[in-house]
Chain A
Amino acid sequence: MELYKLTIHEALDLLDRLEVSAVELTQALLDRIVDVDNKVKAYLTLTPEVALHEARQADELRLRKVKGALLGIPLAIKDVICLAGLPTTCGSRILESFVPPYDATAVARLRRAGAVFLGKTNTDEFAMGSSTENSAFFTTRNPWDLQRVPGGSSGGSAAAVCAGEALGALGTDTGGSVRQPAALCGIVGIKPTYGRVSRYGLVAFASSLDQVGPLAKDVRDCALLLNVIAGHDPSDSTSLDVDVPDYTQSLRLDLRGVRIGVVRECFGMGVQPGVASAVRQALQVLADLGAEIAEVSLPHTEYALPAYYLIAPAEASANLARYDGVKYGYAAPDAKDVWEAYRKTRQYGFGAEVKRRIMLGTYALSAGYYDAYYLKAQKVRTLIKQDLDEAFAKFDVLLSPTSPTVAFKIGERTVDPLQMYLSDVFTLSQNLAGICAISLPCGFADELPVGLQISGPPLGEEIVLRVAYAYEQATEWRTGKPPLDEKEN
């Protein structure tokens, strides 16, 4: 048995029966990383000694009958989330040497649950991108085809889970950055409701949109991870003070009485035929499970992209003002005064996409343009949210493709920023409205994974997980494995 292929729940069963130790499991993952990460390039930082130390501790605790929801489970953390004592680069030169002295709350909760940390995964710089090509360090490869992107911005986390280099991972999702890479890598990723998971220790991108979410091989694993990381945190004033249910309790096999709305607008808008047909076939499976399926219109869908690409850069331009070369990060040497120090620090420290968004956001917020761009986008955000509120009055969940296309080739969309932004066209409304959504595999097009997106109302994680689980268990997509070992790419 190859331990790296296990799901989290399978590994927990073996660990609890003492058939496998956390050290053996962690070593298997580390060996796998040595075997494939030179091709996949999912990790920015690896910490094998720390991981083995944590695994030994987990084994000792288990022998002493100490419980932990993830005791001995090796995970990867996206490099925009702080893990004490390890570099947190955000895929940026400006934070290349930054070592946070504290854990993010989501990481601290995983730690308390007994998780083992393998390392930090690659990301588009400051999570701005859809392919990891905006990382200042390198581009992560899609394990299904090494010439293609893994999606982004949590592409390192998605590729690591997909390639068997971690049993699960944390990502972040500001406009699809958990769901789109999950879709492109053929795994499961959930963006929780805004405020469901604390963002303390997450490096801020767009504060009204950012949310931490898990990526894993199946829906049950996502539920297990969400159980641990969700919940109120006094250190994040936007975290919701609402009890966290046991999400595994919502995993059921039938969908009788569940009302599913299929978003009509999501089948135009540049959707590849193979993607559309995989999603349509999923509808039949869901109907056979007892779900009531009907079409629904979200008339403002096409406005989500332009609204998002004003709001997110505006918030980013404010958040990234903190990179001034004083408190942490890169500082330009030899500046003659404070203004030149700022300009040179930021000129060298930020990459092209981050600069583009700072410029766009600053423009949209600047005197004379605020009403026409930023305020207008916020009003359109209200319309998008109203569409969803109305839809959720009639339906329990909404269904669409996660991304209009399968994984695209490296370099294919880097010339034209708008082309890259279109990767996120179906995953932006959920962040703008603050609702939850999951992506899970629903087939293949051109031998590449297709993602099915199931969106739920605020705090609707249980129904979203239920529908995803029933669908997953009725199909065989989750057993597909990337051809990393079989063929040389």
Chain B
Amino acid sequence: MALTREQVEHVADLAKLGLTEEEVEMYREQLSAILEYAAVLQRLDTEAIPPTATVLPLRNVLRMDEPGPSLSQEDALSNAPAATDGHFEVKPILE
């Protein structure tokens, strides 16, 4: 299963991950090799097998909707690269 450069660039775009030209080529080769290895899974007939997403018997874990202590605004913003007036600063997403 050899990937093309276009596929690698498409995946990097989905993941919002900047890659250099060299990285695109490196990941093209390495991901192709890993996917080829993973192709052994296709040998197994799993038509009737349900998938396991989690091993826990839990589904929705609910609790009472009661207010409790939480981080202060100051603590919550303490690691922000940029914050103004108690808000996280972000780049504009609209023109």
* A residues with CB within 8 A of B: 97-102, 194-195, 208, 234, 237-238, 240, 300, 302-303, 306-307, 309-310, 317, 321, 324-331, 335, 337-339, 341-344, 346-347, 350, 355-356, 358-360, 362-363, 366, 372-373, 375-383, 385, 417-418, 432-434, 458
Contact = CB atoms under 8 A, between A and B. Distances in A.
Given A99-B78, A359-B8, A385-B55, A341 B91 contact: yes
B58 A238 contact: yes
Given A328-B80, A346-B18, A356-B27, 18 more contacts: A194-B55, A306-B37, A309-B34, A326-B80, A338-B91, A339-B16, A347-B19, A350-B17, A362-B14, A363-B3, A376-B41, A378-B51, A378-B53, A381-B52, A382-B52, A383-B44, A418-B33, A434-B55
Given A359-B27, A376-B41, A378-B52, A327 B79 contact: yes
Interface in B31-77: 31, 33-35, 37-38, 40-42, 44, 46, 49-56, 58, 61, 63, 71, 75-76
B82 A195 contact: no
24 contacts: A101-B71, A195-B56, A208-B53, A208-B54, A238-B61, A300-B44, A303-B40, A306-B37, A307-B41, A310-B38, A326-B81, A337-B93, A338-B90, A338-B92, A358-B15, A358-B17, A359-B15, A372-B42, A379-B44, A381-B52, A382-B46, A382-B51, A383-B49, A418-B34
A385 B63 CA distance: 30
A144 to B, nearest CB: 31
A380 B38 CA distance: 12
Contacts, number: 157
Nearest to B10: A366
Contacts of B19: 347, 355
A98 B75 CA distance: 12
A337 B18 contact: no
Interface residues of B, number: 50
Contacts of B46: 376, 379-380, 382-383
Contacts of A97: 79
Q: Nearest 10 CB-CB pairs, A to B? A: A434-B55, A347-B18, A378-B51, A328-B79, A331-B81, A343-B18, A379-B46, A237-B61, A101-B75, A338-B91
